[in-house]
Amino acid sequence: MISLVRHRVIAAVVLATVLKPGDPLAAQGPPPSSEPPQPERVEPGPATPPTAEPPAAEPLAFDAATGPCCGAAEPGFGDLAWPETGPCGDSARLWLRGQYLLWWTKGNSLPALVSSSVSGTAWDAAGVPGTPGFDVLFGSQTIANEDRGGGWLTLGYWLDDRRTWGLQVDWFLAGDDHGPGRFAAESEGVPILARPFHDAALGQPAAAKVAFPEILSGAVAVTSSSELDSGGLLLRRLWRSGSRGRVDLLGGYRYFSFREDLTITERLKATARIGDWDAGTMQDSWDSFTTDNDFHGGELGLNAEFYRGPWALNLVAKLALGNVHQEVKIDGSTTIVTPGPNSQTDESAGGLLSQPTNIGYRSRNEFAVLPEAGVNLQYNVTEQFSLTLGYTLVCFNRVLRTGDQIDTAIDLTQPAEHPAPLLRDTGFWAQGISFGAQLAR
């Protein structure tokens, strides 16, 4: 029994000498014994540097002051802003945008200006509203409501690299429309031509004859035009921004102008004696109505931009408050030339709808409100060149239109009170699409 125990102790000593500490086999330890296990002392080995693990990726924090990056080598380039629309270091601090306008405006309502009647109508009833066979050749309609072309220029510059402050200059012009604002007719007597009006003394409709069978031959023409332009200087201030867009505060000066003119000309010749006129007597006359509306005021607004890849969506809302200077000018004249060797020429102020009672220049100042809203879609072809497509709506609450200044009542007796100066204004809007290109550097 003692010999068996001795042999086991010798075997354990040999194994402990051969095996190194930390060996997997040594970790198994000696065979279990009845004695309590003693703590094993392990000699420390050479230090092994720990394997460095990559830190967990942190989301990129966006600095509202610097804005999203937009360089091709920057992270997130495909999702964030391109030059000009998104702040990015030193690039695109200056931008120039040019657009072609295709706009429409609220129409100009005109009274009946040229009329006719069927052949065989009596002289007193010819061209008179409400009589059998009466027809309006021009007027009783809305003009200046068709499409009109124009242009829009925008020049902007960021004052700092972080694009927190910027200046922007805008100017647009929409020229004359392509609508039915022009009319011309000529007759040797058939068809009947006349210019309707309201006889203020009698309180009933009447008409001045221009062409009538066997008595008068003549011609009448109406021309009109209108033009609007606007501009402004704005200061832009970054208000909110993120990786997908930004919102800027706008504030500055706004100018808006809308002009119109309407002219009616007539020329007639007596082909037979009528009243005090001998055959061959000629008359030339014209009426002119011109209105001008010039607005100056302060403007506030918001400009929001959203980005996705090469696309950018721009939303603009602005409101201008200020003064509108309104002007109306009414003029006209009549020239009568008698026939024969003793021909005489007689000139007088006023045509038909322009008389000494309303001829002249008048102006006034009124408080006005000018709101504007727009949306623009931009596609960036390169970092410096992009294409644009947009829509804009501009409203104006006080505008003088030429049609509203025409008083069709005429006093044929003295003292006359009509036609009278009216100075009636109305609301106005202009809207349309624009497309063009933008350069940035």
**Each residue's pLDDT tens digit, 418-438:** 999 999 999 999 999 999 999
- Per-residue model confidence as pLDDT tens digits over 316-345: 999 999 999 999 999 999 999 999 898 999
Comparing CA positions, the residue from 230, 222, 275, 237 lying closest to residue 253 is 230
CB 219 within 8 A of CB 194: no
Comparing CA positions, the residue from 246, 401, 374 lying closest to residue 319 is 374
Task: Tell me what the mean pLDDT of segment 356-371 comes to.
Answer: 97
Helix, strand, or coil (residue 314): strand
Query: Is the predicted pLDDT of residue 46 greater than 90, yes or no?
Result: no
Q: Which amino acid is at 316?
A: V
Where do the DSSP E strands lie in 213-359?
216-242, 245-270, 282-308, 311-337, 345-349
Query: Is the predicted pLDDT of residue 60 greater than 50, yes or no?
Result: no
Query: Can you tell me the distance from the alpha carbon of 230 to that of 258, in angstroms, rounded to the nearest whole number?
Result: 9
Query: Is the predicted pLDDT of residue 351 greater than 60, yes or no?
Result: yes
Q: Which amino acid is at 67?
A: G
Query: Is the predicted pLDDT of residue 45 greater than 70, yes or no?
Result: no
Q: Is residue 188 in a domain? A: no
The pTM (predicted TM-score) of the whole model is: 0.78
pLDDT at residue 91, as a whole number: 58
State the pLDDT confidence band at 1, using cuts at 50, 70 and 90. very low
Helix, strand, or coil (residue 154): strand
Residue 266 token pair: 């007539």
Cα-Cα-Cα-Cα torsion 71, 77, 79, 84, nearest 10 degrees, comes to 10
- Mean pLDDT of the chain, nearest integer: 84
CB 112 within 8 A of CB 140: yes
Cα 157 vs. chain centroid, distance in angstroms? 21
Residues paired with 409 in a beta bridge: 198
The answer to whether the bond into 59 is cis (omega within 30° of 0) is no
pLDDT: which is higher, 145 or 75? 145
Q: Is residue 228 in a domain? A: yes
Q: Is residue 381 in a domain? A: yes
Query: Can you tell me the distance from the alpha carbon of 258 to that of 404, in angstroms, rounded to the nearest whole number?
Result: 15
b/e 204-217 (16+ beta carbons within 10 angstroms → b): ebbbbbbbbbebbb
CB 438 within 8 A of CB 84: yes
CB 322 within 8 A of CB 298: yes
Number of domains into which the chain is organized: 1
Measure CA of the first residue to CA of the last residue in the chain; give whole Å.
Answer: 101
- Per-residue model confidence as pLDDT tens digits over 175-191: 987 777 899 999 999 99
Q: Is residue 256 in a domain? A: yes
State the number of CA atoms in the 13 A half-sphere of 131 facing the CB.
Answer: 20
Residue 178 token pair: 């392509």
The CATH number for 399's domain is 2.40.128
Q: Is residue 419 in a domain? A: yes
Task: Name, in order, each residue with C-beta under 8 angstroms of 50's C-beta and a sequence gap of 6 or more.
Answer: none
- Run of H or E residues at 2: helix 2-18
Of the listed ranges 7-21, 103-117, 419-433, the least confidently predicted one is: 7-21
Query: Is the predicted pLDDT of residue 361 greater than 70, yes or no?
Result: yes
What are the C-alpha distances in Å from 385 to residues 97, 98, 313, 381, 390? 10, 12, 16, 6, 17
CB 106 within 8 A of CB 404: no
Query: Can you tell me the distance from the alpha carbon of 410 to that of 415, in angstroms, rounded to the nearest whole number?
Result: 11
pLDDT at residue 65, as a whole number: 40
- Its domain, for residue 392, covers 94-104+152-180+222-440
Q: What is the DSSP letter of 123?
A: G
Residue 283 token pair: 């008359």
pLDDT at residue 415, as a whole number: 83
State the pLDDT confidence band at 32, using cuts at 50, 70 and 90. very low
